[in-house]
Structure 1
Amino acid sequence: MNSPYRTGLCRTVRSLAYAAGATALAGLALATGTAPAAATSATSATSATSATDGQVYVALGDSMASGPLIPLPTGPLACARSTNNYPHELAARLNVATFRDVTCSGADTKDMTEPQKLSIGGIPAGEAPPQFNALSADTTLVTLTIGGNDAGLVGIAQSCMTLDPTAKPCKEKYTEGGVDQVAQRVDSVAPKLAAVLDGIRAKAPHARVVVAGYGLYIKPGGCWPYQPVLGVDADYLTAAVDRLNGVMRTQSAAHGAEFVDLATPSKGHDACQLPGAKWIEGYVPTAPAAPLHPNQQGEWNYARLIGAHLGTGS
């Protein structure tokens, strides 16, 4: 049974997230003169004289890759895609000739091949084209982060919030009857991700495909009440993310892609850390970023780690 503390906090944080998200994104767009409708593919290219010859980089994925509420926005407003997300930083590091960033907040595996219905604070905001539209036979590099929304992990994390230290752990609800519902949701991502990876290979047969995992969100035992989730639930949620990363690693190996672990290098940079040290924001962000998402420092470090995997150095 939900305590009044949990219920009130959930409502407050959700309201703040919706309001802050819509207001901040709209404000940034107006301040920078961004024209979201004119950049559905968010394509940018470096100078042909200085760019890596023939390198065509396409970034696919969800909000972990798109960087919601990190300045500055680009592309469809409701995709909450930042020019300081890890794909943009990686493209700069690689000095690619052509760069297409079609990452979009809220995306799941079906949005790779189908239009994604967009909304801001529950208000319809058009749709984004299938992300696979950005792929082509000449694509040389693809990065992908997807699966968290298929498993519903953010919603599960929100349901575990509480300021009541005597509250019943949400883990008990999700493992009632000896069945781990969250583990089942995560495992169900495997065939969907397999299909996505096969689809990428079909559309971009010569591309190097890199699957970037999800980072470390909260340290072992949590840090209640700084992050309002009980210690046992913090560990349960971390185990779910670890399980998803395991699915991503396994499917990558089975379908000709490379997996980059971002969780292990994130130790000491989770949402429990002080501003400036953390790469992931908590339930109430202390830096420009969406709740339970990477901040700009996190996106920069993810790009650094992916770049090191690709051989660009750290």
Structure 2
Amino acid sequence: MQRNDPLLDLGDPSPALGDANRDGCDRTTGSYPNLVAARLAAAPPAGRSVKLTDVSCGGAVINEIASARQTPISPVEAPEDGWPDVATQVERAGLNADTDVVTIGVGGNSMPFGKMLSACLISGVGQPDEATPCRDAYEGGGPFLDPESIYDKYDRVTREYAGMVRAVQTKAPDARIITVGYPTIFPEDATSCDRQDTTELAASIQGLGTVSLTHGDIAWMHGVNAHLNAIIEAITELSGGEYVDTAASSVGHDACQARDVKWVEGVCGTAGSYWPTEVALGPITLECADGNRATLVHPNAAGHTNAATHVEAAVRTALASSTQ
């Protein structure tokens, strides 16, 4: 008898793809969970069918996986009074003892990378390429737009992520947990990044014109992204789960690469025509021109395809081991 194995996806769907059918959470048919589900349906693991339940929600922070309600933030066709709150992803997914596999992709919004990006853009005004004003601020007490040091961020995210994984394990004690790390968003060597190109790591800000991260801060943010991945990997291994590395395979496909090479869009980039051309991040508003959209360093279709390849392999391994 063929079994229908529950595959549940939690986290932030990274909505740079763009999708007109939105409910405020920006789940997209081209995201890696749906690509994985389609591949498993086309070539099922031996004798098994897999049902995907995708409850990921754009902008989700770690605590909204298992302990806090979330207010969706999609700017696309949003109601005048905003999107209604949604329950925790664990609750909406219906995790239970029959759940076989849970994939989790979350953490960047808890840093939060969006606020850090804004702070680093502002910090770079008038600074030479090699300067590290954003790093200096975060290694102090944090910049004025985000007054939390990078060390406090790492400590907090570690606690939150560990607690979230424990909560998922409590709800789905027999499930194989697969966590997904972040791709290479920022290059380690930033000298080729164009500080005037908003499709890379520069931005047009109302009242300020074009601003950008310095090359020194881009390299530092590469390290921050790597440290976040290391936190996720360490907690996953301690919990007995499996960590999926998408950073190594995406080296050379960061936001500073050419449009047909990058797997992560820049501050502005390619997305659906209904995606906004400007977005407010705290007290600043980023503007995109020339048909570009406010993609805010999210993976594009090629990035999701790459992630799907690695996540699919992990899911197949997990399902195979659960039959032994």
In the superposition, the TM-score normalised over structure 1's length comes to 0.75
Matched, 1:137 2:121: no
> Which residue of 152, 168, 175 maps to 1:200?
168
> Is the 2:242–2:314 contact (alpha carbons within 8 Å) kept by the matching residues of 1?
no
Matched, 1:87 2:47: no
Shift of 1:199: 1.3
Determine the C-alpha separation between the residues in 1 that align with 2:24 and 2:164. 23
In structure 2, the partner of 1:53 is 3
Shift of 1:159: 1.7
Matched, 1:265 2:249: yes
In the superposition, the TM-score normalised over structure 2's length comes to 0.73
**What's the secondary structure of 2:57's corresponding residue?**
coil
Matched, 1:174 2:138: yes
In structure 1, the partner of 2:59 is 106
Determine the C-alpha separation between the residues in 2 that align with 1:79 and 1:85. 13
Determine the C-alpha separation between the residues in 1 that align with 2:184 and 2:264. 8
Shift of 1:124: 2.3
> CA, structure 1 residues 207+244, in 2 after alignment: closer, same or farther (shift >3 Å)?
same
> Is the 1:59–1:144 contact (alpha carbons within 8 Å) kept by the matching residues of 2?
yes
Quick check: which one's helix share is greater?
1
> Is the 2:16–2:298 contact (alpha carbons within 8 Å) kept by the matching residues of 1?
no
> Which residue of 300, 303, 312 maps to 2:308?
303
In structure 2, the partner of 1:125 is 83
Determine the C-alpha separation between the residues in 2 that align with 1:205 and 1:73. 36
> Is the 2:57–2:72 contact (alpha carbons within 8 Å) kept by the matching residues of 1?
no
Instruction: Note the alpha carbon deviations across 1:30-60, whole angstroms, 9 max, x for none.
Output: xxxxxxxxxxxxxxxxxxx9xx732111000
Give the letter for the 1:292 counterpart.
Answer: V
Determine the C-alpha separation between the residues in 2 that align with 1:201 and 1:275. 40
Matched, 1:72 2:27: no
Determine the C-alpha separation between the residues in 1 that align with 2:105 and 2:141. 32
Shift of 1:248: 0.3
> CA, structure 1 residues 130+258, in 2 after alignment: closer, same or farther (shift >3 Å)?
same
Identity among equivalent pairs (%): 29
**What's the secondary structure of 1:220's corresponding residue?**
coil
RMSD, aligned CA: 2.6
> CA, structure 1 residues 171+204, in 2 after alignment: closer, same or farther (shift >3 Å)?
same
> CA, structure 1 residues 132+183, in 2 after alignment: closer, same or farther (shift >3 Å)?
same
Give the letter for the 1:187 counterpart.
Answer: D
Determine the C-alpha separation between the residues in 2 that align with 1:124 and 1:177. 33
In structure 1, the partner of 2:119 is 159
**What's the secondary structure of 1:117's corresponding residue?**
coil
- Report how many aligned residue pairs link the two structures: 258
Give the letter for the 1:110 counterpart.
Answer: N
Shift of 1:164: 4.0
Shift of 1:136: 2.5
> Is the 2:58–2:74 contact (alpha carbons within 8 Å) kept by the matching residues of 1?
no
**What's the secondary structure of 1:59's corresponding residue?**
strand
In structure 1, the partner of 2:183 is 215
> Is the 2:180–2:245 contact (alpha carbons within 8 Å) kept by the matching residues of 1?
yes
In structure 1, the partner of 2:264 is 280
